[in-house]
Chain A
Amino acid sequence: MAESELSANVVDIRRFSTHDGGGIRTTIFLKGCNLECSWCQNPESISGKVEPVFLPSRCIGCGLCLEVPGGAASRVGDRIYVDATRVGADWEALTRVCPTGAITWNARSYTVSELVELAQRDRAFFGTDGGVTLSGGEPLFRPHFAAALLRALKQAGINTAIETALNVRTEFVLTALEWTDHVFADCKLLDVAAHRRHTGSGNERILANLEVLLTGPRRADVTVRTPLIPGVTDGDDNISAIASFLASLYPDVTYELLNYNPLAAAKYDLLPGREFLFPRDANPPMLGRSRLDELKSIAQAAGLRYVL
């Protein structure tokens, strides 16, 4: 198969992204990740498959879905509930009868060439800094697709970035790097046990990949990010340990603290079987300005020069 015909499941494509790299970008959220962070802000992208989803806020209660065989839809009081996990449901038929789009799929498949065409549309807005960011999910979860897409974008003259957790084989990182202008790499927790507890996986491979990146020739093109999850990643110890580790590799690396995003909680209502770290009535707020500044100081004290 020609590389341009390789395909992958995409959960969302956001044009005019302004927080995923330089300039104005089109961010492509690929499906599939081999971590299962308890706070994941895109939980719909963890599974690599196109999954059925029911959006109750869009349901007008027309009841057309009740007539589709398979028993996924049922009336609960005056509302309708459609069970996306129901075995044997004909979800395709359900999406066809639903007039509002409340019954739908959470992703669709795109080829490399389709995505390049889409990215090209906003070329006029990219300038020299803007371009395309591959996010997810874990974009390198599909390493050959990611590499093919990044290469096709670069060959079209488009600036590329990836947002990765780096929990993949080093060779995949290095192949992608050839066609990537900027890497945003997550470093969530330095303690391996805590990492395993909260993400379902150890961090040995992540730290090894960070070392490769931050001691390699492209280290200036890497930003390391830590999502600040209250009570999990936002402790002084964790930030200090991460910063010391990074400083030992490359003290000039750009290190970005990403504030907690409480809005992610709402997505879990739509994903039966996935549970958010915090119960809805105990969802903490974003970190305040002064705490952010404190954490920055800690990272700086550990030897990092460029902390955002």
Chain B
Amino acid sequence: MIEVKKLVKRFGLKTVLRGVDFHADAGEFVILLGPNGAGKTTFIRILASLSRPSMGQVKVAGFSLPDQSAAVRQRLGVVSHMPLLYDDLTAEENLQFYGRMYNIDALQERISTVLDLVGLSARRRDMVRTFSRGMQQRLAIGRAVLHDPDVMLFDEPYTGLDQDASEMLDVVLKNVAAAGRTVLMSSHDLARAEELGTRFDILTRGIISASCTRSELGTRNGSFIGGNLLTFYKQALAG
């Protein structure tokens, strides 16, 4: 569902991505880890068709970027650390607006389903301005799944959330991923990542330097005690 070959992205003279190879199938929940400035956000923005690749092949949901970007956007849901919502509209109005942008039929029914999914049905007529950060983030996820995308991209969705809000977001994310979608999420929170992800890719200095699946985690390092995501991450960064 996501296929990236030798992706290079330059901003003027600065090369941010230096040949990323990446692949994710339907049903996979891939977590993208890496230090700040490694290019995670840039990578996700390219997959989201918000940024043009300088070189290389990018295919999302079966369509290549940037040539078929409208087809990709139809099948893609994106959540970033910014909510992409309008403060002066209610939760429902925000979804109505985005529903029209995606040309969704039977919109009202769909909005109710989505608001149920993210647990905001009771607040549907309240302005987004009055929402807590966690509620805004859940509504942002509702906005992203509104058009039933095949591929979902999450860029640091936990930024600025407290413990409770993060746990609620866990539930929503699991539900969203359960529908057989391909999910790619960047994160700094290793504990949360370990719980959600089926595979872990590490992006350092502009390339994917290491990758392992959840089942490989325990055995990979040969040490059962330290064989968790943290040791894998540290070894990947060191080597």
The yes or no verdict on A and B being binding partners is no
